Structure 1
Amino acid sequence: MKTMKTLIAASVAAASMTMIAAPASAELSASASVASMYLWRGFDLSNGAPAVSGDLTYSTGGFYAGIWGSSGDDSAGQEVDYYAGFATEVGGVSIDLSVWNYVYPGSSAGFVDNGDTYLDLSEVILGLGFGGVSFTIYDNVAGASSYNYYTLGYGVGSLSFTLGGTDSDNEDSNYSHFDVSYAYNDSLSFTFSQMIDEDNDDDLKFVVSYSLPISM
């Protein structure tokens, strides 16, 4: 946890120095997507059913905030996410620090973690990238039991590879997965996802997703 706080503090300091020289330009963007399943960190949350989602983001001078909504998962129903963050680049390293709140307005079940139920979930997310390599830390700050989720990714051309895993206070809930994605174009993509741990669903998952920007 101490390492996480130190890394975030260093990132914010570097981002602040860059922000002073960066001209502010406001932009409002939106998109809509449909996928053959709701794949979330290696899990099929929609139980094989298609999922529809959309987002609206306002950004200016590196800062951004927005809302993302989905038809939801099979147990908690509709999902609405609120987020705000700051993204910049320092010495060729991309830095993205944000806070996300996941809400399930249509369900009293909310987010379920290891048998416990929470009405919502919040994370602080720090993403770093250099060249084709990326590393992201998701730190649970509210809701659910304490955990960190990590991803290590590499992209080359239209292909991307992602290794994800959790580090939780409850060791029984730890798992890892590996994803391979291919972007046919800016809208159409295909993803294969495989759980690595024997204790979790070991079926190979295949997802087709299609996304379109919405003119604002």
Structure 2
Amino acid sequence: MRMIAGVAVLAFSAGMAGAQGFELLGGAKLEYKHKEEGGSSNAYLSGYIEGEAVGFYVGIWGQVASDDLLDEVDLYLGYRNETAGGLTYDVGYTRYYYPNDGGECCGEYTLALGMPLGPVTGKLDLAHDPQSDLNSAYLGAAWSATDALEVSGQFGIFQVEDAGSEREWDLGMTYSLGRTTAVDFRYYDGSDYADSHFGLALTWDSTLLSR
């Protein structure tokens, strides 16, 4: 199933490559997370490749971690655009795979909305997993303190199968080192977390091909 889905993503992306305004995007992230209590930590290396044309996009995202149960591969597609009033919207579907922890997991339909509110950009992210009838909702905000420094955070409520709902939140800052690279420092906590933790990440995002 995973191979079939991967081939479908590549075929769709190849078909989009002939469209006017096609872009091939790529990125990578190296992240270190450290728990406040117990001193345990995990390191993550992730990356993605995404094809986009006239608002439609399709991509693959993968992660390897120091705890191999956290290794993950996501296949996703969707459509994103912006209204004349500045409201951004993104409707998509993502399929999740955990190769070292049961294989194919589940899929989610997603809706992301963003709107500038003066110096702050507000966002709302909604997701629904029809297979398990699970839902999540996250409300966030980002403030550009300078051209290079952004402060952001979010609060979310998500369902846990057969266990009601849980809450989580994060707060941090992102500093741009250039056009394609940035450093992010963030604090994470939540009702379902055994321990709160800090995360430090180096990110790289770039346009690999444009036509």
Q: TM-score range by the shorter chain?
A: 0.7 to 0.9
1:191 aligns with 2:186: yes
The corresponding residue for 1:121 is 106
1:93-114 CA distances to partner (integer Å, 9 max, x unpaired)? 1110010001123x2524xxxx
1:141 aligns to 2:130 (yes or no): yes
2:165 alignment counterpart? 174
Q: Secondary structure at the match of 1:201?
A: coil
1:34 paired residue among 26, 30, 33: 30
Structure 1 residues 26 and 36, CA gap change in structure 2 (3 angstroms): same
* Mapping 1:9-158, distance limit 5 Å: 24-37=20-33, 48-72=41-65, 74=67, 76-90=69-83, 91-105=85-99, 107=100, 109-110=102-103, 119-131=104-116, 132-142=121-131, 145-157=132-144, 158=150
Q: Which has the higher contact order (CA 8 A, sep 6+)?
A: 2
Give the superposition deviation at 1:73: 7.6
Name stretches of at least 5 consecutive residues in structure 2 with no aligned partner: 1-18, 145-149
Q: Specify every segment of 5 or more residues in structure 1 that has no aligned partner in the other structure, as ranges.
A: 1-22, 40-46, 111-118
SS in structure 2 opposite 1:76?
A: helix
Identity of aligned residues (%): 24
After superposition, the Cα gap between the structure-2 partners of 1:79 and 1:48, relative to the gap in structure 1 and judged at 3 Å, is same
Task: Provide the C-alpha distance between the structure 2 equivalents of 1:72 and 1:149, rounded to a whole number of angstroms.
Answer: 24
Query: Aligned equivalents of 1:68 and 1:60: distance in 2?
Result: 18
Question: How many residues are aligned here?
Answer: 172
Contact 1:67 1:80 in 2 (8 A): yes
Q: Which amino acid aligns with 1:94?
A: T
The root-mean-square deviation of aligned C-alpha atoms, in Å, is 2.4
**CA distance 1:166–1:64, change in 2 (3 Å):** same
CA contact (8 A) 2:89 2:112 kept: yes
The equivalent of 1:19 in structure 2 is none
- TM-score w.r.t. structure 2 length? 0.73
2:200 equivalent to 1:208:
yes
1:141 Cα shift?
2.5
Does residue 169 of structure 2 align to residue 165 of structure 1? Answer: no
Q: Segments of 4+ in structure 1 off by > 4 A?
A: none
Q: Check conservation: 1:182, 1:190, Cα contact below 8 A.
A: yes
- Give the structure with the larger strand fraction: 2
